[in-house]
Copies of this chain bind each other. A is one copy, B any other.
Amino acid sequence: MNDLASTVPNGLFIGVGVGPGDPELLTLKAYRAIQHADVICYLENESGQSQSLDIAVEALKDPIKQQLHLGVRFAMSRERVAANAAYDKAIGQIHAQLKQGKTVVFLCEGDPLFFGSFTYLLERLDSQYASKVIPGIPAFAAATAELQLPLTVLKQSFAVITGRHSDAKIKAALLEHDAVVIMKAGIERPRLLTLLKETKRFDDANYLEYISRDKQKIIRDLNDLEMSAGPYFSLFVITRQEIPKEANQDVKA
């Protein structure tokens, strides 16, 4: 480092939640942060596609195309070694931008700190750089909005688990809590359907895929759901609400 470099003000790293899919579910704060950022960073798959970037581009239209893009190539995998290598590489590129005093936003589907990859970048961030987080609409909130189904009222409790949990953990949550959301449900769908039956929560459950996106699918009667694996972006919403599911007319959001 030379003297010149040390006079450049340090950059700012911002985790920005862009919500679950509908570009209108960005907050005003997220919109402006993306608009004013020097560098837009996001995860992309091996084909160069990025769901979070797609959401941001659709929300902001043209302006976002003029900023520097930093795609972090990332294979969806349970392999921690490969994932860690990708995050290590990404944070190196981000540090290089922050060192030049740039503001870097990292786009996150849903909320950055709720089951988000942003966590792995934040824990790698050099403490000399400032950071902040802009919350986003979590998928379960968009799901209950689509279902028009109250998740929790008064003394009810609510738990979030994932399809990666053990049978025992999932059953305990279904028996203990009035409302339960099971994230990352797709690949574990047959097992989860069995657990819902075993805990007598099958009739309390709704299943949603690709919430608030064009290919959104909502299944309110799980008898209509096949005992086979589904996509990654899917979840179950289980409630003890007494309100009949058909009480109010649905309006396409």
Contacts and interface: CB of A to CB of B under 8 A. Distances in A.
Nearest to A148: B133
A136 B138 CA distance: 9
A5 interface: no
A164 B116 CA distance: 30
Contacts of A142: 135
A115 B150 CA distance: 8
Contacts of A223: none
A89 interface: no
A145 B134 contact: yes
A111 interface: yes
Interface stretch (A44-52, A165-173, A202-210): A165-173
Contact of A159 (B19, B112, B159): B159
B155 A164 contact: yes
B127 A248 contact: yes
Interface stretch (A66-74, A117-125, A186-194, A213-221): A117-125
Contacts of A152: 114-115, 160
Contacts of A122: 148, 150, 243, 247-248
A141 B111 contact: yes
Nearest to A146: B133
B135 A144 contact: yes
A253 B132 contact: yes
Nearest to A29: B24
Given A120-B153, A154-B164, A157-B169, 19 more contacts: A12-B251, A23-B28, A24-B27, A25-B135, A26-B28, A27-B137, A28-B31, A111-B144, A113-B144, A113-B145, A114-B144, A114-B151, A114-B158, A127-B249, A129-B249, A135-B145, A157-B159, A157-B162, A159-B177
A243 B17 CA distance: 20
Contacts of A115: 152-153
A127 B31 contact: no
Contact of A160 (B157, B165, B248): B157
A161 interface: yes
A96 B223 CA distance: 39
